[in-house]
Structure 1
């Protein structure tokens, strides 16, 4: 074993040295692209970009330079930070199979989530998505509305029991995380993780909440993962991973193992029910309407070449949990915070919801999704505070990146396109695009739901931002657009409708800070523990 590890270490060192040599001594066409100076040769701008308090650096990138900015990676590598709309169209649509997820990102995500949509590439990704698209249709969202409402009412009752004696400070992020997990559990997997009746979520839910903040601190390991993933068998790679003396890395491994174990247990139960017939399926939590049940049924009837393996189906399960929990819970928490900061907006939205309810507990799907002010509040929150602020791509071959507006190079000349070499890391600036004043106007940095109740600026329409949702990059676009964005939208609107018809939300006296990460999250002050206390009071008897 030690001989294998020694050989692996030598290969790793030689590979890294070779890459550094090329970066230092070979001239790059990216040298002429303007950008901030590196902190150091070894670190580049990475500590600034991947910093939980790195909002100022991202803001500078989007305001001080053009729509494409050169940033420095580790050990002399050069990357591009992109929010120019035409360049984004090239990255996520026109040349999307050249701008793929990097080996480093795929390797790290695969270790966490297995063979799901987030780790598949090329034809394999297209095959997975083709089978999964129908189960995320609007018609299927309508069918799942009873599940959404049932869980949201459980949430309402849980909060109500805690404010019986008047307004209380409650960690709304904790409740949104638990609710999002239960929603993706029941509607996504046909499994109940958390009935929302205990004071705290179970240990599994708590582990999931810690996953993203913990994994975000491990980016220094990413450049080495592609080499590690080529060593021996999966068992050998796991043994190597276990030998690395990093508490945070081992914690991520523990969480990943827990997700994998739960997924396998749920999958086994689902398979057993399907072999027993429709009656057994109907007795399960999702009553056969959940996404996993529909996906497994579609997979059974698919042609041999379109069918997914059991490992791929298990990978989708982990992906559902990972992609749907922190993004939606964070968006809901952010929305409630903004409504607390703007009581007039909160009151106006509550009035719209109560009128639509008409004395009933549920608003039908088609009515709910068309409520103009609720839709405006959700869109504006997802514009200004996109849960995922950046995503990474890496060029699989040389490509030319077009620009909507020429940028001035460091040599004084203007460039209307940029030659991008193979192997270049490209950072898609989701938040920078959503807040671009050149498109959205001088108030682009202001939360203003009313902007969605009037015609959008012509600059927005003319830019043709390649996002799948409302001229925004929040859910990306092209073949890698978020497949569950309709699920997320439905979830947000149902939860907001149920909560705002029952409670008034006000700010706590504690200092809440939003942290930059793979998915942004709030904390109280400098704490590392995700949390967002809010003052909640009942507005009527339930």
Structure 2
């Protein structure tokens, strides 16, 4: 019998403790647990390679949750192999997994043994409410069952015109932005200005515009609500709040490890007060964003219900033709059996999650696509010619199933989704640069999973053999999405290169010997299993419509700025520039991705 207090005892008594005492007791518990394991329990992952802990207190967590940590993540997979031992608090042994065999088991046949971590669930419950990212078990399955039909091909066809409306508006706004910059440059007419900018080109922050268009697309397609009509020179406050939420949460990664314990501190109103009293700017920013999302969701839900009631009273109901996804969800919820219906808290939670999830992927992937095309002009030309040729064929053939709105032609969904170069560029970008490089899971009961043991030799190659590892209950581990997507054993020796043409040479350019249970194209970018990304088709349709519409008109090329990609759970770009203040030069980072842009071939 252990002389140390049990976790059950601590959780049962947290409600009567002050915050100070609770944190002190928690630290004592973790230290006691570490001492007990180090003296009595055999290390669970003895023999599995990995780096030494960087800190006796936080292990490797400071490296794994570092904004500049992308190289460290890649180093783990490249140097140690697909199954790596890393350390959490007080020497807690964890795993960092990118091995396809292990991932098959975790997301496939053994998925009932693994779930989201308590840290992830409790933090999301606080921020989003009881939505898809904060529920488990039967409740999660019920919510997913109600939400899944919203993302069917038939339903997405209804919202495709909304995406086109927004993409065309974006092009109009960008054209004004380019013209305004060129007018100012022409008026200045200085040699310095002409040296700084290419003739006929303006500088656009494609990251900022991608964030704005992603939120507007999510708002109008999901909620039927416009957050940002793109006309204003500055983004909507909601855009700014959403954009800063994930980086802020990521910077609080070590603090968030205590979320499961803090969630036991008294009733909900008391926990909210604790957050209000916390003298931390980042915590208050997260609270403000959470409040903004929650209040917006409640107001929009009330508006949608009133609209449906008015339509019913007037006999002009949509008859199943609702074009925003929340209206579809309300219809499905009304038709569901009473025991399966979502309450208002669940509905508003779903709305917040859907808006956030719908925009975070596209706002990360689209800037990366624009940046890669800017540095690969030959690929950009192939994509542009393919899009323009599709429009040309459309105009030449009478009876072609094409939509015209305000005199503007629109490719039908089948043609758009079937454009080979555009498809290859999006897939390859998602493979090599997944917007979420890793997720974490916890083992809900002891499980044994297979993996490939890699042993380096003296010739810069390695010898692989099959092995298995027993994962104790309550073990936390990392699933490396980026690492699995770059495994040479799956994708070939050029797995670390951005090569869209690999998707043109074969629709399945990966090893047939290993099946990765990903939801999309044999990769993990949208995860897999019971917690895969429910809206990946939504994201793919939106991205392709926006990219096709913009690339058919604009040419992008790189500026001289140094761009770095930061890890904030979701990757995001920053520009590094030298700034002189009081005679001292320093390098400052700003969230942006500037590219030269011009309409047609003005940059050529």
State the TM-score, normalized to the length of structure 2. 0.85
Corresponding residue for residue 338 of structure 1: 372
The yes-or-no answer on 1:388 pairing with 2:422 is no
- Offset, 1:259: 0.9
Corresponding residue for residue 427 of structure 2: 379
- Offset, 1:242: 2.1
The yes-or-no answer on 1:112 pairing with 2:117 is no
- Offset, 1:275: 1.6
C-alpha contact (below 8 Å) 1:475/1:485 kept by paired residues: yes
Deviations 1:63-98 (A, max 9, x none): 112311111112111111111112101111222232
Deviations 1:237-257 (A, max 9, x none): 111122222211111111111
C-alpha contact (below 8 Å) 2:30/2:90 kept by paired residues: no
Pairing partner for 2:482 from 418, 431, 440: 431
C-alpha contact (below 8 Å) 1:505/1:536 kept by paired residues: yes
Aligned to 1:537, the other structure's residue is in SS state strand
Deviations 1:368-413 (A, max 9, x none): 001111111110010011000000001111110112x34569xx99
Pairing partner for 1:20 from 3, 10, 34: 34
- Offset, 1:455: 2.4
The yes-or-no answer on 1:446 pairing with 2:460 is no
Corresponding residue for residue 488 of structure 1: 539
Distance 1:110 1:367 in 2: 40
Aligned to 1:465, the other structure's residue is in SS state coil
Matching of residues 492-511 of structure 1 within 5 Å: 492-511=543-562
- Offset, 1:167: 1.6
Corresponding residue for residue 90 of structure 2: 75
Larger radius of gyration: 2
Corresponding residue for residue 247 of structure 2: 213
Aligned to 2:111, the other structure's residue is in SS state coil
Could you say if the C-alpha distance between residues 528 and 214 of structure 1 is closer, same or farther in structure 2, counting changes exceeding 3 Å? farther
Distance 1:478 1:51 in 2: 28
Distance 1:430 1:222 in 2: 22
Distance 2:153 2:326 in 1: 16
Q: Which runs of 5+ in 2 are unaligned?
A: 1-14, 183-199, 396-407, 457-462, 577-586
Distance 1:392 1:150 in 2: 37
Distance 1:163 1:153 in 2: 15
Distance 2:317 2:233 in 1: 28
Distance 1:540 1:506 in 2: 11
The yes-or-no answer on 1:8 pairing with 2:56 is no
Deviations 1:484-519 (A, max 9, x none): 000000011000110011111111221111111210
Pairing partner for 2:48 from 33, 38, 43: 33
Distance 1:457 1:186 in 2: 34
Could you say if the C-alpha distance between residues 69 and 219 of structure 1 is closer, same or farther in structure 2, counting changes exceeding 3 Å? same
- Offset, 1:172: 0.9
Could you say if the C-alpha distance between residues 398 and 3 of structure 1 is closer, same or farther in structure 2, counting changes exceeding 3 Å? closer
Distance 1:134 1:342 in 2: 38
- Offset, 1:288: 2.7
Distance 1:101 1:2 in 2: 28
C-alpha contact (below 8 Å) 1:153/1:498 kept by paired residues: yes
Corresponding residue for residue 461 of structure 1: 512
Deviations 1:8-45 (A, max 9, x none): 34543443344333443321221221111111211211
C-alpha contact (below 8 Å) 2:429/2:498 kept by paired residues: yes
Which segment drifts farther, 332-341 or 82-91?
82-91
Could you say if the C-alpha distance between residues 239 and 158 of structure 1 is closer, same or farther in structure 2, counting changes exceeding 3 Å? same
Pairing partner for 1:325 from 355, 359, 365: 359
The yes-or-no answer on 1:222 pairing with 2:256 is yes
C-alpha contact (below 8 Å) 2:450/2:466 kept by paired residues: no
The yes-or-no answer on 1:103 pairing with 2:118 is yes
Matching of residues 288-303 of structure 1 within 5 Å: 288-303=322-337
State the TM-score, normalized to the length of structure 1. 0.94
Distance 1:59 1:129 in 2: 32
Could you say if the C-alpha distance between residues 529 and 125 of structure 1 is closer, same or farther in structure 2, counting changes exceeding 3 Å? farther
- Offset, 1:182: 0.4
Aligned to 1:29, the other structure's residue is in SS state coil
C-alpha contact (below 8 Å) 2:369/2:429 kept by paired residues: yes
C-alpha contact (below 8 Å) 2:83/2:453 kept by paired residues: no
Distance 2:249 2:348 in 1: 21
The yes-or-no answer on 1:185 pairing with 2:219 is yes
The yes-or-no answer on 1:478 pairing with 2:478 is no
Pairing partner for 1:517 from 568, 578, 581: 568
C-alpha contact (below 8 Å) 1:167/1:535 kept by paired residues: yes
Corresponding residue for residue 7 of structure 2: none
Corresponding residue for residue 186 of structure 2: none
- Offset, 1:298: 0.1
- Offset, 1:59: 1.7
Distance 2:574 2:61 in 1: 22
Which segment drifts farther, 50-59 or 344-353?
50-59
Distance 1:376 1:255 in 2: 36
Q: Which runs of 5+ in 1 are unaligned?
A: none
- Offset, 1:202: 1.7
Could you say if the C-alpha distance between residues 343 and 315 of structure 1 is closer, same or farther in structure 2, counting changes exceeding 3 Å? same
- Offset, 1:306: 1.8
